[in-house]
Amino acid sequence: MILGTLDGIPTAETAADGTVTNDAAELARLSTLAADDLAAVLSMLSDASPRPEPGHDIDIAPAPADAAASTEAVTEAIPTQATGTSAPVRLRVLGPPVVETQAGPVATGMRSGSYTVLASLAVHPSGRTLDQLSADLHPDTDPGTAGKRIRTDISTTRRVLRAATGNPEAMFVVYDPATGRYRLDSELIAVDLWQMLTAIEAANTADDDTQALALLREVVELYGGDFADGADQTWITDYATTYRHQILSVFARIAEILEPDHPDQAVAALERALEFDPVNEELYQRVMRIHGRAGRPDAVRRTLRRLENRLADLGDAEPSQATRRVADRQLRPATAAASGGPR
């Protein structure tokens, strides 16, 4: 529609019925649409537009941010969750992923992909975008297809947890349209990983060894195994290695606290650590030092022999020279005593 004259371009004047009224035009009649008819057409188009179906959670992605903002490194803070945190849902990711309610484990309804999404969000409490989740969980899949799978996994998680908790309004996995990120609702889901990291931080700042030891023992109870055990994906392996190193450090710290008064308990703590890393030479060295300081040469030899056997099972591997030197130093006093000491 044009208001006023338009120089240089032919125009045609039409009546309400579409008849051309000016002589300059070569057209006799044009198709027209009355205002009421136009309104009806627009209403029909509006009715035909797709809408969210009842029972489905539709998350609208935000407008793309600039590259600098999207690649900016963010330091994520772990939600502070004590071991006794009360929440309707408990997520275990240390060991095989498990979702529990007050009634027990959620045994049916969850997709395998749902557990992987939950594990990813557990290590990223600030949230992950759909693209980030797709890159981590389905790196070899078309992004569009990967995104659809993840949306389905999240919708399934919400539906199953709503039914399991009797809370039809809860989201559990929250979507933030402003950032495009999905995250776990820390008020509705207690995560063993968050509780473990909270206890480690508290132990590091404890006022005394008694308080630290109690917190470190909480950590040990929370650690049920490698992160997301059973899922074979590169990103999971990386996090599993990180958390395994942390739990080994926890056992080592427990042994340090216990050794002065309870050397046997200190050795037991290190033996438990070896269950998670059976060929960790540093742990064997610590065990041999405790036995050596306690005057137990036979225990030193048994410890070294066990390491030799476990390494032999892997092929032609042998203990490092550093480990052998530790054993020799612990055995030296016993050797000198057996030979009658220096002459």
Domain CATH for 132: 1.10.10.10
For residues 206 and 298, state if they share a domain: yes
Residue 66's pLDDT is what?
A: 35
Residue 86's pLDDT is what?
A: 84
Q: Is 260 exposed, middle or buried (0-12, 13-18, 19+ CB in 10 A)?
A: exposed
- Percent of the chain with pLDDT strictly greater than 90: 69
Q: State in Å, rounded, how far the first CA of the chain is from the last one.
A: 116
pLDDT for residue 27 is more than 80:
no
Task: State whether residue 19 is helix, strand or coil.
Answer: strand
pLDDT for residue 15 is more than 80:
no
Task: Tell me, yes or no, whether 71 lies in a domain.
Answer: no
List phi, psi (to 5°) of 202. Answer: -65, -40
Which of 169, 191, 213 marks a domain boundary?
Answer: 191
Task: Tell me, yes or no, whether 333 lies in a domain.
Answer: yes
DSSP states along 276-316: H-TT-HHHHHHHHHHHHHTT-HHHHHHHHHHHHHHHHHTSS
Give pTM, 2 decimals: 0.74
Which of 191, 217, 245 marks a domain boundary?
Answer: 191
Residue 343's pLDDT is what?
A: 43
What is the distance between the alpha carbons of residues 75 and 62, in angstroms, rounded to a whole number?
22
Contacts of 196 (CB under 8 A, 6+ apart): 94, 219, 222, 223, 243, 246
Task: Tell me, yes or no, whether 271 lies in a domain.
Answer: yes
For residues 83 and 152, state if they share a domain: yes
Place of tokens 């992987």: 116
Look at 15 and 215; give whichever has higher pLDDT: 215
For residues 228 and 130, state if they share a domain: no
For residues 324 and 223, state if they share a domain: yes
What is the distance between the alpha carbons of residues 91 and 81, in angstroms, rounded to a whole number?
12
Averaged pLDDT for residues 156-183: 97
For residues 219 and 174, state if they share a domain: no
pLDDT digits (tens, 9 = 90+) for 119-157: 999 999 999 999 999 999 999 999 999 999 999 999 999
Which of 191, 214, 244 marks a domain boundary?
Answer: 191
What angle separates helix 112-123 from helix 130-137, to the nearest 10 degrees? Answer: 110
pLDDT for residue 239 is more than 70:
yes
What is the distance between the alpha carbons of residues 188 and 79, in angstroms, rounded to a whole number?
12
Place of tokens 């999905």: 182
For residues 201 and 214, state if they share a domain: yes
For residues 147 and 243, state if they share a domain: no
Q: Is 167 exposed, middle or buried (0-12, 13-18, 19+ CB in 10 A)?
A: middle
Residue 231's pLDDT is what?
A: 85
Look at 71 and 206; give whichever has higher pLDDT: 206
What is the distance between the alpha carbons of residues 241 and 26, in angstroms, rounded to a whole number?
81
pLDDT digits (tens, 9 = 90+) for 53-83: 344 444 444 433 332 333 333 347 888 887 7
Q: Which of 36-40, 84-88, 198-202, 279-283 has the lowest mean pLDDT?
A: 36-40
Number of domains observed in the structure of the chain: 2
Residue 78's pLDDT is what?
A: 84
What is the helix (H) or strand (E) element at residue 275, kind and residue range? helix 263-276
What is the distance between the alpha carbons of residues 272 and 328, in angstroms, rounded to a whole number?
24
Task: Give the tokens for residue 184.
Answer: 């776990």
Task: State whether residue 94 is helix, strand or coil.
Answer: strand
pLDDT for residue 9 is more than 60:
no
Task: Tell me, yes or no, whether 57 lies in a domain.
Answer: no
Q: Which of 62-66, 145-149, 254-258, 267-271 has the lowest mean pLDDT?
A: 62-66
pLDDT for residue 338 is more than 70:
no
Task: Tell me, yes or no, whether 316 lies in a domain.
Answer: yes
CA-based nearest residue to 118, from 48, 210, 194: 194
Q: Which domain holds residue 125?
A: 78-191
Averaged pLDDT for residues 285-289: 98
